[in-house]
Structure 1
Amino acid sequence: MVDVPSDIEIARTAHKKPIFDIGQRLGIPQADLVPYGHDKAKVSSQFLAGQKGGPDGRLILVTAINPTPAGEGKTTTTVGLGDGLNRIGKRAVICLREPSLGPCFGVKGGAAGGGYAQVVPMEDINLHFTGDFHAITSAHNLLAAMIDNHIYWGNGLDIDLRRITWRRAMDMNDRALRQSVGPLGGVSNGFPRETGFDITVASEVMAILCLASDLQDLERRLGDIIIGYRRDRSAVFARDLKADGAMAVLLKDAMLPNLVQTLENNPAFVHGGPFANIAHGCNSVVATRAALKLGDYVVTEAGFGADLGAEKFFDIKCRKAGLSPAAAVVVATIRALKMNGGVAKSDLSQENVAAVQRGCANLGRHIENIQKFGIPVVVAINHFSSDTLSEVEAVRVYAQNLGVEAILCRHWAEGSAGIEDLAYKVVELADSETASFQPLYADELPLFEKIETVAREIYRAGEVVADRSVREQLTAWEAQGYGHLPVCIAKTQYSFSTDPTLLGAPKGHVVPVREVRLNAGAGFVVAITGEIRTMPGLPRSPAAERIRFNQAGHVEGLF
């Protein structure tokens, strides 16, 4: 058993290079880096604009099986693969999302990788970083303030207080804010109405920043936000309130991608951070396009399992940004496969080949789904010390029967040296040019049929049910010209179904659509299913209880 220090201990002892050196490796002049200290920087808009028209590298997606409490290590594998590609002599760049404070202080922890496959500075990335999330939160809440202010000063737009759809946002898990009433306190404070908060990563402003191509596109999309409706049911836009310009100004610096490095001093862009269970789950288009111009191979991730992150990466991000992935990696662990095979978390350290074989049904479903998009696939078995040779072999045989190779990866304990085999295989797949990417559904398909297509083809559901009001709302949006938009389904990450306890590869289940939201600025329709919430809550024992300074003044408890 390899004795590996904690993630934060490893990160703290990293031998980081000055960020200007990392930029130089990518051909970014020092004058085009806006430094935030010595180890992180933003890339100037002038440099990004100058890269247009050049050739693109090959785009590699890292996704995973459905997450379990046993852990999968998707971000760790993304970082490890980027390091591995550089180790075998390839010019590779990593693209990740920024972590949200909510999970950092909740149950999930951070999102900077782990073991010897991390991006650093780990503490900064997992906490305030370069302030992007704070800027997004401020822009979101500026619009909310301007809505109530407009109503207070006479409501010249005739906004129906009962039909205001724009809520407030904050980057923290706080179930008490899901539903609220305000403003209260009398005439001087405005007109009382029901409202609530979403977590910042579910904000349409977050989605817009991650999908916008430049500042002009950003401002246009912000203006297209629908904040509510008049009494005649006509839409009220953010531009009607003259909020779009000020919102864009607040986001000026946040639009610039953040450059950091791995433990092995390889370049990584960490920018944007929508969740995949309640939003579209991908890092920014700006960062991905920049990386494609600067690297021969770009390794990026999509949140949670492939039923969420990968589907949205393909059907929303790639569709809207004109991206064509060259290959995909599905991350699995023996421990998680055993949980999908019915083993309790307390028994995962015991060998159970039969449970692995049963759990492989979840892996197989994800492989088949990715292949539906025309993308070649390889499986990365993220190694844990409790894995046995027989269990690993069971996964390899299962994948081989599907025509896919499964490769054991030891990057968590060994860094890039432990993932060379996967790096060579990814290059082989990407360079084979066998990818023939196509989205799952056509733009012209009606909105409800798009939801049904994802539920049927990706989740293997037997039926999608929705109240008449939901169906009528979708039909109304189609009549208003929004029928061509893709759909973003908000669903539990733990299962193909909407029941988080239904593991493995269920089929024939029912997907209930509780609510739909039109993100006209971002350019997609959100369908909220089951019990999923756009403002998470903290667990009984949140990670925040264990995060503190130690006697040496170092942060402890982040993971």
Structure 2
Amino acid sequence: MTLIDQFTSQYGPMSKMDAFGYLKHLDEHPDEPRRHGKIVMVTADTPLKASRGEGKTTTTIALIDALRARGIDAAAVLRQPSMGITAAGSKGGASGGGKASLEHAELVDWGLCGEMGAIEAAQNLLVSFAEKAIDDGLIDTILVPRVSEVPSRSLRHITVDHGKGDVAERVVLTPTCELMQIVVLSHSMEEIGERVAVMVAGTKDGVPVTFGSFIDLWRITNILTDAVKPARTQTRQGSPVYVHCGPFANVSLGIPSLVSVRMACALHDVVVVEAGYGADAGAQKWLDIACREYGAQWPAAAVIVTRATTWRDDPTLSWRYPFHVQRLEMLDIPTFPLINLWEGEDGQVEELRATAKEAEFREPIIGNLFRDGGDALVKQLDPFVRTLEAGSAPAQRHSHRGMSLIENAKWIAEHAYGVPADRVRLRDGFVDSLSDADELCSQLGLSIDDLAFVAVKSPATMTDDDSAPEDRRTVTLKKVEVHAGAGVVQVNLTTSLTTPMPKIV
């Protein structure tokens, strides 16, 4: 039995990994053999439609299959999808497709890895405690939302009669909730308990009240016993894949749990991490939150996926793909464009290569991965493999803690969306929202500027209007929401919903 087997248990047809226990053991026994895997980030172009995936998961699966066919010990870490949106067919599935798909794909797509249901139950139990605290006079407002995996427009804003007056409540999708963020960012059950303790239940006479002040936290952490463990599965070709937490990079973190990635790096030489939606969303959050603020490993290379139609067919949006590639290259991340062909597009390959050359990209990787899987990539990966082999550990980027929230927003707008600081707008009411959030943090003994900045935005746009001329593109800041337990502050910009409805596609 290997060391990792001692921290592995069966969970239906898949396995669950006690990443907390395994990593603690490695920390306490530094002589134990371990790998020091390099991170490869797979992200995508900003899609023309939020409801259509560009093929990140299909690419991630095909990539590790191809790397392993070349004798490289590669694995992938994927995000657990949201059943009510992703698996309902509103965008590309989260388990790949065709020859580049997971074994037991249905278990992943329908949330049967377990954490979605457990996190939903735990956060809803917190809200139930908050409602009882209303009855007991401990609080008079509720700030933490209920969550659901199945969206409902009627539940976005609700009013509950508590007998002592109506109390406003709301419901958001499970992946967007604070408890999901806590699980993504935590490295132990003790840390989860500490973070839940400082979650804000509501206010009493305008003063914030945390859950740790009136409930026993074991009631919550016990629900999460299996939810904190990444699921281990494999591709149809037998390549190892770990699935844990974190979809919806437009309205939350959109990255897998930090411990699932750290565990995979201790087990494999190359770890491909999926960053949600486009490079403006998931990649921005992996780099600026996971890496800058929480010490995750900086990528040794990146792959940005696009569709041939997304890249070339809308002239007003054609700036986005080159922007993403060039931005990551400017961060010293070797970035490889990958064009995910659909059926009938094989004849466009030479034209696509010419367009990529004109844009001064690295040699593009092109293939129909649904049809051909990793076989389409094996012979195209020489430059990619040479880059991985030659790469050294990059320097850790500086934290933005202490930077004012508005300055941080302007920095992200400029670097992630291409909008200069002087074209960042404040919507009416934003200053009041920021003032309220700042006051809440002060009453909790926190500085709002020390919280990690989470942009909440449309998945299909980087700016207020991506089709506008470059010199007219703007970003508008709309609302601020503090997640004290997660250690983040969410700032709404462009168009965004935390309870989107599935699309009929």
TM-score normalised by L of structure 1: 0.81
Structure 2 residue 237 is matched with structure 1 residue 264: yes
Question: Which residue pairs with 2:384 in the alignment?
Answer: 426
Give 1:286 deviation, angstroms.
Answer: 1.4
Report % sequence identity: 27
Query: Residues 60-139 of structure 1: matches in 2 within 5 Å?
Result: 60-69=40-49, 71-103=53-85, 104-105=87-88, 107-139=90-122
Which residue of 2 is the match for residue 348 of structure 1? none
Equivalent-residue separation in structure 1 for 2:326 and 2:440 (angstroms): 32
Alignment of 1:218-257 (within 5 A): 218-231=192-205, 233-257=206-230
- Counterpart CA distance in 1 for 2:60 and 2:269 is 16
Name the counterpart of 1:338: 312
| In structure 2, distance between residues paired with 1:505 and 1:145 | 49
Q: How many residue pairs get matched? A: 487
User: How far apart in 2 are the matches of 1:474 and 1:195?
Assistant: 18
Q: Pick the aligned partner of 2:433 from 448, 452, 470.
A: 470
Partner of 1:173: 151
Give 3-state SS (helix, strand or coil) of 2:241's partner.
strand
Superimposed CA distance per residue, residues 5-46 of structure 1 (whole angstroms, 9 cap, x where no aligned partner): xxxxxxxxxxxxxxxxxxx8xx55545321122x30101343
Q: Distance in 1 between matches of 2:361 and 2:326?
A: 11
Deviates more, 1:406-415 or 1:450-459: 406-415
**Unpaired runs of at least 5, structure 1:** 1-23, 343-358, 543-559
User: In 2, Cα distance between the equivalents of 1:464 and 1:242?
Assistant: 41
**Could you tell me how far apart the structure 1 residues matched to 2:323 and 2:393 are?**
19
CA RMSD of aligned residues (A): 2.4
Is the Cα contact below 8 Å between 1:375 and 1:436 reproduced in 2? no
State the secondary structure of the residue aligned to 2:111: coil
The equivalent residue for 1:328 is 302
From the superposition, tell whether residues 463 and 46 of structure 1 become closer, same or farther in structure 2 (CA, over 3 Å).
closer
Read off the aligned partner of 1:468 and give its amino acid letter. V
- Counterpart-to-counterpart distance in 1, 2:6 and 2:100: 29
The superposition leaves residues 135-170 of structure 1 with CA deviations (integer Å, 9 ceiling, x where unpaired) of 000110111000110121232xxx242xx3211111
Unaligned runs of 5+ in 2: none
Q: Which amino acid aligns with 1:447?
A: L
- Please point out which of 357, 368, 380 is paired with 2:338: 380
Q: Does the residue aligned with 1:120 lie in a helix, a strand or coil?
A: coil
Question: Does structure 2 retain, via aligned residues, the 8 Å contact 1:170–1:200?
Answer: yes
- From 527, 531, 540, the equivalent of 2:491 is 527
2:75·2:268 contact (CA, 8 Å) conserved in 1? yes
Residue 311 of structure 1 aligns with which residue? 284
Please, which of 3, 7, 10 is the counterpart of residue 35 of structure 1? 10
Among candidates 468, 481, 495, match of residue 461 of structure 2: 495
- Do the aligned partners of residues 270 and 526 (structure 1) sit closer, same or farther apart at CA in structure 2, a change above 3 Å counting? same
Q: Deviations over 1:403-433 (max 9, x none)?
A: 5221213332112211114543332222222
| One-letter identity of the residue aligned with 2:425 | V
User: Does structure 2 conserve the Cα–Cα contact (< 8 Å) formed by 1:183 and 1:192?
Assistant: yes
Letter in 1 for 2:461: S
Give the TM-score normalised by the residue count of structure 2: 0.90
Partners of 1:261 and 1:113 in 2: CA distance: 12
Which residue of 414, 417, 427 corresponds with 2:375?
Answer: 417
C-alpha distance 442-371 of structure 1, shift in aligned 2 (>3 A) = farther
**Does the C-alpha gap of structure 1 residues 422 and 414 become closer, same or farther in structure 2, counting only changes over 3 Å?**
same
1:341-360 map, 5 Å = 341=315, 360=318
Mapped to 1, the partners of 2:6 and 2:131 lie a distance apart of: 42
CA distance in 2, matches of 1:211, 1:400: 40
Rounded Cα–Cα distance in structure 2 between residues aligned with 1:85 and 1:183: 58
CA distance in 2, matches of 1:86, 1:371: 26
Conserved 8 A contact 1:315-1:440: no
Note the C-alpha offset of 1:495.
1.7
- How far residue 380 of structure 1 moved from its aligned partner, in angstroms, is 1.1
What's the CA shift for 1:227? 2.4
SS at match of 2:412: helix
Report the Cα offset of residue 506 of structure 1: 4.8
Distance across 2 between alignment mates of 1:224 and 1:418: 49
